[in-house]
Amino acid sequence: MLHLDLQDRLQEAVKAILPEADLSTVQVRSCPDPKFGDYQTSALMALAKERKMNPRQLATDVLGKLRADDLCEKIDIAGAGFLNFRLKPEVVAEALAGAFRGEHLFFRTSSQPRSIVIDFSSPNVAKPMHVGHIRSTILGESLSRIFRFLGHRVVTDNHIGDWGTAFGKLLVGWKESLDRDALQRDPIGEMERLYKKINAECDAEETRLELARSELVKLQQGDAENLAIWQEMIRLSQVQFDEVYGRLKVSFDHTLGESFYNPQLQATVDELMATGIARESQGAKAIFSDGSMPQKDDPFVVQRDGEWLDNPALIQKNDGGFNYATTDLATLAYRHATWRPDEIVYVTDGRQQLHFRQIFAAFRRWRPDLEKSVKLAHVWFGSILGEDGKPFKTRSGDTVRLTELLDEAEERAFAVVSEKNPSLDEAQRNEIARIVGLGSVKYSDLCQNRQSDYVFSWDKMLALNGNSAPYLLFSYTRAASILRKAEQSDAVTNATTLTAIRLSSPEEQAVAKHLLKFGQVLELVTEEYRPNFLGAYLYELAGLLSRFYESCPVLQSSGNERLTRLAICFVGARVLKQGLNLLGIETTETM
Ligand code: ARG
């Protein structure tokens, strides 16, 4: 917040000197090295460069107009024209006091709220949700929460895979070899078995493949029996998805699966053909390069052996069937027409990068008028690996089911909690284990740079030390416990009368200054769709709090010192709790 106040004033000053400048580029950021200050701006150098001005001269002129002595110590011009700002200690103390009184939490909601569609999770019907879907679900949920928290209008849409060639095979399996008892016990397992069986037969025998195709065509033509079976498969799958979402506390505004767009697919293809964006190729229809992009950026060509070859996006097969790309183009058109979003975000694994580059490029050619008005973003992530560095599998080599993974997380957390705190009764330990277990799975994912692969390690994610959910949750409970003890002896709640916060030790100041940066970190998360920035911020906060507890006893202190320290515990706990909540992680008061 203070950085935004400072930024507003800086923009005023720049406007006075360069009335025509684009003020949105004039930003105040954290100073990477506290030796030089708390915040800095490099914007003046860029402005000077564009105008061929001397950057230090521009910095001097802007400084002459900048009124910020109430917020900052003397402002320095550094290097080639940076401005470094150092907050006055009383300003930091007052910001902390304001948060203690419940007036703010160091963030501002956006003055230009955007509407954002987020497509995430999107598992496939008749298949178990696996660990690959966990990253999309956890990342997507956290991004939705953070965008909403900052005041943006968010529409979440679960684009489930409920249509396509797999259903031909599933229908054959369902009609010929369904085991009703198995379906009762484990619907997903049974549907998976049917799919695998028929899929193998289709690979071996052309006649089986033809049968599957004809069942699919019947489904597409609205055959009553096939429709009913297909709907039952969706229903059974949705039960499983909802169980996982319920446990993870994830929710969606809409679940419009791929099948929802089926009625629009032919029209989409016709339009793309009529406008010349797609053309016929070997009986199929596909989108080719229009040569408008440099080849290295063009998703419709690939380089092989030094030669550029066509890399078209198929939109209709020669048997008339449609492709994944067709559905995504129809989906984009629908989302645009329905929600008029400023931004559409897709959260999927990195293997779909080419697909989305093609979709985005094709959409721009299809709807050139939207070029500027809608931002399309593919927020992709890497793989989860086993400790052997290969894709994460069970001991028997199967993909790990999400429900089983969550069960194991809770069981392991129960063991950790019971060891640490054996005196708690079992129900309490169960509840704490649920929070710690699920929090650990979420945090170990969210604290990573999403684009790197990471090794799934139970020991690391459940460790009480290091960058883990248990460490952050423990930091929260420590503050909560101090506050509980203090409340028994004095009236912290009477914080409205509080005027006397004074940050006298470096440890107190370090926590308070870090707290001030909460909102700024959230903005960075939304700029780059990277919740790991928030993870790193909270981890640093927990570290600063622990240094603070070591050198600044809270309960043994008195007077203003005690009040200041309680305020740090109180506000620190609130930011930890809010930050964890934005990562989708619940907190517990004891651990
Ligand atoms: N169902 C797909 C999968 O499991 C993900 C869909 C992502 N969203 C989209 N609009 N294509 O890989």
**What are the tens digits of pLDDT across the range 319-332?**
888 999 999 999 99
pLDDT of residue 223 exceeding 90, the answer is: yes
Provide the percentage of residues in the chain whose pLDDT is more than 70: 98
Mention every residue, 6+ apart, whose C-beta is less than 8 A from residue 31: 37, 38, 39, 40, 84, 85
Q: What is the pLDDT of residues 117-153, one digit of tens each?
A: 999 999 999 988 887 789 999 999 999 999 999 999 9
| Among the listed residues 238, 255, 121, the one whose alpha carbon sits nearest the alpha carbon of residue 584 | 121
Q: Note every long-range contact of 546-555, with CB atoms under 8 Å and residues 24 or more positions apart, other chains counting.
A: 546/475, 546/478, 547/507, 547/510, 548/507, 548/508, 548/510, 548/511, 549/478, 549/482, 550/507, 551/505, 551/507, 552/505, 552/507, 552/508, 554/482, 554/486, 555/482, 555/485, 555/486, 555/489
Give residue 33's pLDDT: 85
Give residue 216's pLDDT: 92
Question: Is the CB of 161 inside a 6 Å radius of any atom of ligand 1?
Answer: yes
State in Å: Cα 258 to ligand 1 middle.
9
Q: Which of 137, 252, 348 to mutate to test the pocket of ligand 1 (most atoms within 8 A of CB)?
A: 348
State in Å: Cα 356 to ligand 1 middle.
10
pLDDT of residue 278 exceeding 80, the answer is: yes
Please name the CATH architecture into which domain 2-87 falls. 2-Layer Sandwich (3.30)
Helix (H, G, I), strand (E, B) or coil at 161: strand
The ligand 1 atom at the shortest distance from the C-alpha of residue 348 is 7
Q: Which uninterrupted H or E stretch holds 202?
A: helix 187-204
Can you tell me the mean pLDDT for 277-283? 95
User: Where are the CATH 3.30.1360.70 domain residues in the chain?
Assistant: 2-87
- Residue with the smallest CA separation from ligand 1 atom 7 is 122
Q: How many CB atoms lie within 10 A of CB 391?
A: 14
Give residue 281's pLDDT: 94
- Residue with the smallest CA separation from ligand 1 atom 8 is 159
Give residue 521's pLDDT: 96
Residues 315 and 322: their CA atoms lie apart, in Å, by 6
Residues 68 and 10: their CA atoms lie apart, in Å, by 9
Is residue 128 within 8 A of residue 402, CB to CB? The reply is: yes
Question: Is the CB of 348 inside a 6 Å radius of any atom of ligand 1?
Answer: yes
| Among the listed residues 533, 352, 532, 345, the one whose alpha carbon sits nearest the alpha carbon of residue 445 | 532
Q: How many CB atoms lie within 10 A of CB 247?
A: 15
Q: For all residues of the chain together, what is the average pLDDT?
A: 93
pLDDT of residue 498 exceeding 70, the answer is: no
Give residue 496's pLDDT: 46
State in Å: Cα 130 to ligand 1 middle.
13
Give residue 76's pLDDT: 86
Residues 472 and 484: their CA atoms lie apart, in Å, by 19
Comparing 76 with 234, the larger pLDDT belongs to 234
pLDDT of residue 384 exceeding 70, the answer is: yes
State in Å: Cα 352 to ligand 1 middle.
9
Highest mean pLDDT among 1-10, 68-77, 321-330 belongs to 321-330
- Residue with the smallest CA separation from ligand 1 atom 3 is 123
pLDDT of residue 57 exceeding 80, the answer is: yes
Residues 264 and 269: their CA atoms lie apart, in Å, by 9
* Cα separation values, 115 from 346, 380, 551, Å: 14, 20, 46
Where b means 16+ CB within 10 Å and e means fewer, 357-386 reads bbbbbbbebbeeeeeeebebbbbbbbbbbe
Question: Is the CB of 162 inside a 6 Å radius of any atom of ligand 1?
Answer: no
Can you tell me the mean pLDDT for 223-227? 96
Q: What is the pLDDT of residues 568-588, one digit of tens each?
A: 999 999 999 999 999 999 999
Comparing 370 with 59, the larger pLDDT belongs to 59
SS (H, E, C) 229-277: HHHHHHHHHHHHHHHHHHHHCCCCCECCCHHHHHHHHHHHHHHHHHCCC
State in Å: Cα 83 to ligand 1 middle.
45
pTM (predicted TM-score): 0.94
Mention every residue, 6+ apart, whose C-beta is less than 8 A from residue 151: 109, 110, 113
Helix (H, G, I), strand (E, B) or coil at 566: helix
Can you tell me the mean pLDDT for 428-448? 96
Question: Is the CB of 121 inside a 6 Å radius of any atom of ligand 1?
Answer: no
Question: Is the CB of 122 inside a 6 Å radius of any atom of ligand 1?
Answer: yes
pLDDT tier at 489, thresholds 50, 70, 90: low
Give residue 308's pLDDT: 94
Residues 62 and 349: their CA atoms lie apart, in Å, by 46
Question: Is the CB of 260 inside a 6 Å radius of any atom of ligand 1?
Answer: no
Which token pair is 125? 């019907």
pLDDT of residue 396 exceeding 80, the answer is: no
State in Å: Cα 403 to ligand 1 middle.
20
* Cα separation values, 452 from 135, 349, 381, 455, Å: 12, 11, 7, 10
| Among the listed residues 226, 208, 232, 197, the one whose alpha carbon sits nearest the alpha carbon of residue 125 | 232
Task: Classify strands 375-381 and 343-349 as parallel, antiparallel or unpaired.
Answer: parallel
Helix (H, G, I), strand (E, B) or coil at 324: helix
State in Å: Cα 257 to ligand 1 middle.
10
State in Å: Cα 348 to ligand 1 middle.
7
Q: Which of 120, 122, 157 to mutate to test the pocket of ligand 1 (most atoms within 8 A of CB)?
A: 122
Question: Is the CB of 124 inside a 6 Å radius of any atom of ligand 1?
Answer: yes
Give residue 220's pLDDT: 86
- The CB-side HSE value for 254 (13 A sphere, CA atoms) comes to 16
pLDDT tier at 449, thresholds 50, 70, 90: very high
pLDDT tier at 255, thresholds 50, 70, 90: very high
Q: What is the pLDDT of residues 355-376, one digit of tens each?
A: 999 999 999 999 988 877 899 9
Residues 499 and 346: their CA atoms lie apart, in Å, by 47
State in Å: Cα 76 to ligand 1 middle.
51
State in Å: Cα 48 to ligand 1 middle.
45
Q: What angle do CA 179, 398, 433 make, to 5 degrees?
A: 100
Give residue 320's pLDDT: 86
